[in-house]
Structures are given as C-alpha cells and as structure tokens.
Structure 1
Amino acid sequence: MTTLLLIIIYLAFISLGLPDSLLGAAWPVMQSDYEVPLETAGFLFMTIAGGTIISSLVSGKVLKRFGTGKVTFVSVLMTASALLGFHFAPSVVWLIISAIPLGLGAGAVDAGLNDYVATNYKAHHMSWLHSFWGVGAALGPIIMAQFILEDNSWRDGYFVISGIQFALVIILLFTLPLWNRVKKNRNITINEESEDLIDVINDEETKDVKPLQIKGVNLALFSFLFYCGVEATVGLWGSSFLVNVKGLSAATAAGWVSFYYAGITIGRFITGFITFKTTNRTLIRYGQIIALIGAIILFLPLPSIFSLVGFIIVGLGLAPIFPCMLHETPTRFGKKHSQTIMGYQMAIAYTGTTFIPPILGFIASQSTIGIFPICIVIFVAAMLLSSEKINSILRNKVY
C-alpha cells in the first residue's frame, strides 16, 4: 500500500514537470503564430508562476482542511484543463486566462507533495521525487518537438500532454482512500545525518530571535532566488537562444532543451543514492560548480554542438541543489524555525521563477537573446558565493 502510493506520488510529480518546460519549447512557433513580441512568453510565464506563488502561500490551510490526496486530485484536474485551454486558445488573451489555473494547480501540488513525502517517507525519497519532476520536464519538450517536426503543430503537443494529465486525474480519483491510510500507519522519519548539527545550530543564539534575524537566512533566500531563476530561465529561453543565436530549427532546439531537463532528472536520481555517502553541503557545492562550468561552455563562442553539452552539464549541476537545500534547512537554522524558513524559501524560489526569466526576456527584446548565457553565468556565480558564505557562517557557529 505504501509503495503503491509512493508510485502515485512520483507519477503526480511527473505531471508537475510536464507543463513546466512546454512553453519554452513551443514558444518559437507560438510567437510566429500569434505574431507577438518575444517577451510575451515572459508575461505568460509570470502569470503561471504568480498563480503558483499564490497557491503555495495558501496551501497550508487548504491541505489541513482537505488533505493532500484531495488537493492533489483537484490541482492536477486544474492543470489538465488549463493545458486543454492552451490547445484551443484563439488568442494570447486566452493563453493568459489558461495560465492562471495552470499556476494555481502546480503550486498546490508542489507544496502538498513535498510536505507529504518529507513527513511520511525517508529523506532520500526527496531527491528521487524531484528526479521524477525532471522526467516530466524532459518528456514535455520531446513530445512537443515531435509534433512541431511533423506538423508544425504546437497545439497538438499541448493536447497530448493534457490527455496524460487527465489520465492521472482518473488514477488519483480511484486512489484517494490510500492517502489517509498511509499517513495513519507510518511514523515520521527524521533525517539522521542532520541530527547532531541541528542540536548545535538550534542553540541559545537562535532561540529567541525571529527567523529572518538568524545569521545566514537572507543568504539562503538569495540562493533559492537565483537557483530557481537559473532553472526557469534556461527552460524558458534556451530554445530561443538556440534558434536565434545558434541557428538551429525550432524542433531541434526543443529536443536539445529536453536534454537539459534529462540532466536534472538523471542527476537527481543518482543524488538519491549519493546522499547515503556524503553530505547535502558537499552536493550543493559541487552541483553549483558543475552548473557554472556548463554555463561558461554556453557563453564561449564554440560550435553549436557544444551548446548541447553545456545544457546537459548545467542540468546535471543543478540536479542536487534544490532538494539538498530543502533538506539542509533544519540543519542550517534549527528545527524550531525550520518550518517558517522553509515557507520563506519556497516563496522566494517562486519569486525567482516568476520575475527573473521575464526580466531577461524584456532586456533581450531590447538588445539580443545573446545575453542569455552571460546572465546564466552571473546567476550561478551569485548562488555559489551566497551558499559558500552560509557555510562560512555555520563553521564559525560550530567551531
């Protein structure tokens, strides 16, 4: 029963990833069909992410009232309907209207499933959970590229993804009773590797202060901001960069971006095993260094094939960072403030997703999409520096 529900949760996270990469992959063709400026994709993306922020902020109360199973069912139903709306949208206005439930549904699923897995399953399942998001994010551009290549029809790509989502809705409907049964039968698992450090960090220095006054919290928020900014920016503008700067076809560009998401997927699957042997802190550091190397490859004036290599390396580097930073929260700042700080981190993460890609799109429309790799290098470097500063603060506390 427990294993069956875990499989369903993984499937739900695949469905969460599927729509995330579709807009960026399809936009070069959609832009032509609707005859709108490049930065329109940024506004659509902002609408989706804005809905995600709103639903994640209220998800705590909604989850307590209705339960994770029901919220996940309704949320996936919303995203499936929204994707169907993209398929039929006669104008950009209808795309914006469809983007609202797409964002609202995604935020509730994300917050609910992360909390459920953290509470009811072992810690390494978090990395694997996020790897299944990558499965969906990688499949999205592959499916879209196939329809663009054959019929130049991005609408059919959205229709197929919507059908997959509706299939999951049916599965969730018939498995609703499982959620409460598993929750009642399982004990909460605590991440044993963090236990000693938690006791050190959660000392008198942080006992009576507000969460945002704890040393390192602002730097952690900074890291989440730029992590999600990088992840979303590469997904949204990667295809446009390859088409307009590297001269690739829209179908080929969409396929190459799917390798970026494949890098995230494979990396997170491997990370789930590596967590048994090393610390979150080490995985975060080396992930950021690898992502920086990939970004530099994209920046250098190399043949087009190296862009594919760069996308894959960036994806592999980003893979462990987000789930490991989530797991590291109680270790860094103590269990007392962990839940509150976790909420701040998710809000800031979605803020990065919401605003950084559209800002880059606006700047690119006034200049050139060629600034894309430069911005990725800057964002990854900023994330690395803030993360290392947190490590320095923690070393001073412990020693």
Structure 2
Amino acid sequence: MFSGFGIGTVDCCLNLFVGNLKYANQLLGVMHAFYGLGCLVSPILSIHLIEVGLDWNQYYLLLFGFATTAFICSAIMFRNETKWKYMYMTEQKHLKEQNEDDGIPQEQASMSELLRNRYVLFFALTLFLYLGSELCAGIWFFNYLITIKKVVERSASYITSSYWASLTLGRFALGFVTGHFFENNEVRAMVLYTGLISGGCAGFWLFENYTSLQVVCIDFVGFFVGPVFATSMVIAIKCLPARIGSGGVPVICGLGAAGGAVVPWVMGNIAEKLGDGTSGSGLVYFPNMMFTTFASAFGLWFGFYLLNRKKLENYEKL
C-alpha cells in the first residue's frame, strides 16, 4: 500500500514538473517508458534471483537498495526545486492569467470546486477507463490465454510480456511523435491513439478464433496505449487554468488510478460468475470487456474534441 502511494505521489509530481517544460511529451514519454521497462524486467529478475538460491522476500532488499539510490540521487539533483520556487512559479502563472483576464484576481480552487469541475472529472474518467483497461489487459490476458485459448503457461507468459514490451515501446516512440507532429494539438493525438486502440480491440474480439491474430491485435493495442497517460497529463496541464491545474492534476491522477482497481475487479467477477459455470469460463467475455472500456474512452475524447474544438485551436484555457 505504501509503495503504491509513493509511486503515485512521485508520478503526480513528475507530471506537474515535466508537463510545464519544453518537450513535455518527449520527456514524459521517456520517463514512462522506463517505468514500463521496469515492469517488464522486474518479474524476470526476481525469478532469476530465486533460481540462483535467494529467498523470494530477499528481492525486496534489492528494491530497497534501488529506492535508496533513487532517493539520494533525487535529493542531490533536485536540491534547488523547493516549495518556495514552486509557489513562486505558480503565483507568476496566476498573475499572467489575471492579466489576460483584465486583471481579475483568481484564488486557488478549493477541493470541492475541483471535484465539481467538469473538466477535472472528464480527465479523471478517461484515466479511470484507460488505467483500468491497461491493467485489466495485463492481468487477465495471461489467464485468458490459458483458460480459453488453452495455451501452455510458458508460451502464455511470453505472449503477455510482448504486450508490456509493446506498451513500453509505444511510450518511448509515440512521445516523440506527439511532440513533433501534435505539439499544442495533443487532443488530436489522443483521438487518433484511442481510435486506433479501439480498432485493435475490435480486431482482438473479431479474431477470437485465431490466437495468432489476437496476439498481433493486443500488441497493437499495447503500442498505442503506451502514451495515453502521459499525453493526458500534458493536455490537462496545458488546458486547465493555473488555479485549477495545480490542484486538479493530483485529483485527476488519484481518481483515475482507481480504475486500476475497479476494472480488473469487474473482469474478475465476470470471469467467475458468467460462462458455463466452471472456474474462469467467463473470460470468454474478456475481448468484449476490452473493447467496451477502450471504446468508451475513445468516445469521451472524440466528444471532448468536438465540444471544445474552437478553444483548443485558439490555444485558450478551458
């Protein structure tokens, strides 16, 4: 629990910090790619250490060493990034927006106002669907291959790893694509990416009798899923006013992260309670679930773009 809280806090701080820098899409893409790389390497490393004689819980000593090293490096490299500097930069951003609004003073939004803001709720809902669907695919795809497709465990593990590898590659590569071709037009990139993801999920569903084609489709989905989180954060930071954005981004991350718990849980209930009554038989509906959640995210982004197209093209705050 504490490790998850720490990762979420660090991730939110990085999004706020990097999102305000030049080349935000590229930087966030690279950082999130290394996060995905860690997800890919860690299971392999832990299994190797167990095979050479270490107890399973001794792996946490290695993680402790990595975390300590990261803490020391962060303390040194970011020693000048103080709360006073952040408060000053935020105040300057507020003053700039006040001047653009004829000098009308604006106070920092309260938590209740953030939770009522439709744009904060929109970003939170899209992240809820995205994070939930991403983790649902990573968690249940392995079980789907074994239970429904009758794939042997070793092959199923390799296929599942290919999904995470595609996701990591997408985070790295598409961050540069977004930054180069969609700078200040990231919403268009999101509509494109989520549309392609929905198409990949449709293929994953339609080709359910062809396992090899399903693998191609799920890797295609993983590639375009990769940049969605980072790009969503860049859009939120750029589009929301400073009085909303500074407090709104942590709220968006927090509410959106709940999807990682809810969507896989829903799929688990479907797996156990539907189907022919045998354990896990409901996983036959796994492709339907992936298409429904990812397509819903695409529908939200497409509607958001149509409703706010004028403001987005004029680079106005929402």
- State if a TM-score over 0.5 links the two structures: yes
Matching residue of 2:301: 387
Structure 1 contact 266–316 (Cα < 8 Å) conserved: yes
Match of 1:256 in 2: 159
- Whether 1:277 and 2:181 are equivalent positions in the alignment is yes
Task: Name the CA distance, whole Å, in 1 between partners of 2:5 and 2:117.
Answer: 31
- Tell me the TM-score normalized by structure 2: 0.76
1:220–1:345 CA contact under 8 A, matched in 2? yes
Letter in 1 for 2:129: F
Supply the RMSD in Å over aligned alpha carbons. Answer: 3.4
Aligned length: 282
- 2:131, 2:256 within 8 Å by CA — same for their partners in 1? yes
- Say if 1:348 and 1:167 are closer, same or farther in 2 by CA, change over 3 A: same
Taking the aligned partners of 2:75 and 2:121, their CA distance within structure 1 comes to 41
Residue 181 of structure 1: CA displacement?
A: 3.4
Name the SS for the 1:357 alignment partner: helix
Relative distance call for 1:273 and 1:171 in structure 2 (3 A) is same
Which of 179, 183, 187 lines up with 2:81 in the alignment?
183
| Residue 136 in structure 1 maps to residue 136 in structure 2 | no
Query: Map of 1:209-288 to 2, 5 A cutoff?
Result: 210-274=113-177, 275-278=179-182, 279-288=185-194
The answer for the alignment partner of 1:292 in structure 2 is 198
Partners of 1:106 and 1:131 lie apart in 2 by: 15
1:360 aligns with 2:297: no
Structure 2 stretches lacking a partner, 5+ long: 87-92, 275-281
Mapped partners of 1:178, 1:235: distance in 2: 35
Task: Work out the CA distance in 2 between the residues paired with 1:336 and 1:286.
Answer: 29
Shift of 1:111: 3.0
* 8 Å CA contact 2:129, 2:259 repeated in 1: yes
Query: Helix, strand or coil: the match of 1:221?
Result: helix
Contact 2:129 2:293 in 1 (8 A): yes
CA contact (8 A) 2:188 2:305 kept: no
Give the Cα separation in 1 of the matches to 2:55 and 2:170: 26
Q: CA deviation at 1:260?
A: 1.1
Partner residue, 2:89: none
2-structure distance, mates of 1:158, 1:122: 40
SS of the equivalent of 2:213 reads helix
Q: 1:105 to 1:254 in 2, by over 3 A?
A: farther
- Provide the secondary structure at the position in 1 that maps to 2:151: coil
In structure 1, distance between residues paired with 2:121 and 2:9: 25
CA distance in 1, matches of 2:68, 2:237: 37
Distance apart, 1:159 and its partner CA: 5.3
Deviates more, 1:331-340 or 1:241-250: 331-340
Aligned residue identity for 2:200: G
Question: Which has the bigger relative contact order, CA under 8 A and spacing at least 6?
Answer: 2
Q: Is the 8 A contact 2:120 2:252 kept in 1?
A: no
Q: d(CA) in 1 for partners of 2:80 and 2:119?
A: 36
The answer to which of 217-226 and 256-265 deviates more is: 217-226
Match of 1:315 in 2: 222
Secondary structure (helix, strand or coil) at the match of 2:149 reads: coil
Q: Tell whether the 8 Å contact from 2:121 to 2:252 is kept in structure 1 after alignment.
A: no
Kindly indicate whether the alpha-carbon contact (under 8 Å) linking 1:139 and 1:258 is maintained by their aligned counterparts in 2: no
1:166 pairs, out of 53, 59, 64, with 64
Tell me the equivalent position of 1:304.
211
- Greater share of residues in helix: 1
Note closer, same or farther for the CA distance 1:156–1:115 as it changes in structure 2 (3 Å cut): farther
Structure 1 pair 113/158, CA: closer, same or farther in 2 (3 Å)?
farther
Cα distance in 2 for partners of 1:163, 1:265 equals 26
Q: What do residues 355-389 of structure 1 show as CA deviations (whole Å, max 9, x unaligned)?
A: 11112101211121111110110001110111112
Q: Deviations over 1:271-319 (max 9, x none)?
A: 2322133231122112112211221222122322222212211111111
Match of 1:370 among 255, 261, 284: 284
Of the structure 1 ranges 134-143 and 379-388, higher mean CA displacement relative to structure 2 is found in 134-143
For residues 326-337 of structure 1, the aligned pairs below 5 Å read 326-337=233-244
Task: Measure, in 2, the Cα distance between the counterparts of 1:135 and 1:108.
Answer: 19
- Match of residue 107 from structure 1: 8
Shift of 1:270: 1.1
